[in-house]
């Protein structure tokens, strides 16, 4: 990583890699917009994840938002 930065400034290679990453991200977004099947397949996955987060918020709210055990394993169990 040191070869990609000189002092606080990125090198030309680092800037080029960042631009390449932006191109890949743009192509991915355009393919996603263009492919209706991919969009339809993504929606149930998003809904499933949101449902899990909603359940976790409701369960946590039931405990008044407090973690009663300090150690990590106990927090996971709660």
pLDDT digits (tens, 9 = 90+) for 15-57: 999 999 999 999 999 999 999 998 888 888 888 888 888 887 7
pLDDT value of residue 66 = 66
Residue numbers of the domain that contains 40: 2-77
pLDDT tier for residue 9 given thresholds of 50, 70 and 90: confident
In the chain, the N- to C-terminal Cα span, in Å, equals 40
pLDDT value of residue 35 = 93
Lowest-confidence segment of 1-10, 38-47, 69-78 by average pLDDT: 69-78
Alpha-carbon Rg of the chain, whole angstroms? 22
Domain count, the chain: 1
Prediction pTM value: 0.47
Tokens of 32: 């996603």
Residues 6+ apart with CB under 8 A from 70: none
Instruction: Decide if 20 contacts 12 (C-beta within 8 A).
Output: no
């Amino acid at each position: 990583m040191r070869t990609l930065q000189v002092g606080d400034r990125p090198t030309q290679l680092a800037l080029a890699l960042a631009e390449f990453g932006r191109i890949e991200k743009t192509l991915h977004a355009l393919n996603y917009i263009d492919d209706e099947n991919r969009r339809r397949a993504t929606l149930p996955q998003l809904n499933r994840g949101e449902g899990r987060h909603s359940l976790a918020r409701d369960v946590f709210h039931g405990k008044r938002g407090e973690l009663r055990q300090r150690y990590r394993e106990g927090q996971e169990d709660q």
